[in-house]
Structure 1
Amino acid sequence: MAERVAVLLASLALLAGCAGPVAGTARPVRLTDGGKAKFKEFYEHLNKAGDEGASQQQKLLKDTQHPDFRQKTCDLRGATIKVEPTWSTLRVDADWAPPGEKAHPRGEVYVVAVTVTLRQDDAVIGSQIGSLHVVLLDDEVYGFAPCLGG
């Protein structure tokens, strides 16, 4: 069990810091109210799915995985995540590519500071502050599912 918790915590760290420091100057995003609402809905749906259980959240993560990276979905091994964005930090990150990839995802890439909480069997296993990337592509919001090593 301790090994499983260690893997989950390490994965949470990877999820929250999946891009490391983000270069550039922070500037407020000039999204329409509809665009901002789409990002908020994305995370609200993610958290609601987590409240409904690991299989529901896993399905949502798979369904909302960026189309260029569908093969990169992962199993959270029965854990769920809760993501709490700090909306004042939302900004464009036009040069970002997912870790290990050379290609920039299609669409408009944004980054936002988040607090991510990992839960297993209704118990909090860990919490991490970091940044997550989301993409607005064809008027839909897509993310990048967290992956657990091993």
Structure 2
Amino acid sequence: MAERVAVLLASLALVAGCGGPVAGSAKPVRLSDGDRAKFKEYYAQVNKAGDEGASKQAQLLKDTQHPDFKQKTCDLRGATIKVEPTWTTLRMDADWAPPGEKAHPRGDVYVVAVTITLRQEDQAIGSQIGSLHVVLLDDEVYGFAPCLGG
């Protein structure tokens, strides 16, 4: 059991993107209210799916994976995540590429500071503060599998 918790906590660290500094510089984001609402709705859906169970959240994360990275998925081993963005930190990150990738994802890439809580069977087993990337592409919001480091 302790080994499984350690693996899940390591996954949480990857989810939060704690591998190093975030590229780019802080600039105020000029998003329409509609686009900002899309980002908020995306994370609300992630959290709602997590409340409904691990398989539901895993399917949502797969369905909302950036189209250029559909093959890059990971297994949270029955755990779920709860994501709490700090919206005042939302900014563009035009230079970012997922770890191990050379290509910048298509679309407008944004980064936001988040608190992520890893849950196993409705019990919080770890929490991490980090940053996650999301993309606005063709008027849709896409994310990246937690194992890609956000």
TM-score over 0.5 (shorter chain): yes
**CA RMSD across the alignment:** 1.2
Structure 1: how far apart are the matches of 2:9 and 2:59?
21
Which runs of 5 or more residues in structure 1 are unaligned? none
Structure 1: how far apart are the matches of 2:25 and 2:106?
22
1:71–1:18 Cα change, 3 Å: farther
Structure 1: how far apart are the matches of 2:101 and 2:18?
12
Normalising by structure 1, report the TM-score.
0.95
| Equivalent position of 2:62 in the other structure | 62
C-alpha distance after superposition, 1:27-65 (max 9, x if no partner): 111000000000000000000000000010000000000
| Equivalent position of 1:80 in the other structure | 80
Structure 2: how far apart are the matches of 1:100 and 1:18?
15
Task: Give the ranges of 4+ consecutive aligned residues of structure 1 lying more than 2 Å apart after TM superposition.
Answer: none
Is the counterpart of residue 15 in structure 1 residue 1 in structure 2? no
Matched residue count:
148
Aligned residues: percent identity?
85
1:19–1:94 Cα change, 3 Å: farther
C-alpha distance after superposition, 1:84-141 (max 9, x if no partner): 0000000000000000000000000000000000000111110000000000000000
Structure 1: how far apart are the matches of 2:66 and 2:19?
16
8 Å CA contact 1:19–1:99 kept in 2: the answer is no
1:91–1:108 Cα change, 3 Å: same
Which runs of 5 or more residues in structure 2 are unaligned? none
| Equivalent position of 1:43 in the other structure | 43
1:120–1:79 Cα change, 3 Å: same
8 Å CA contact 1:136–1:142 kept in 2: the answer is yes
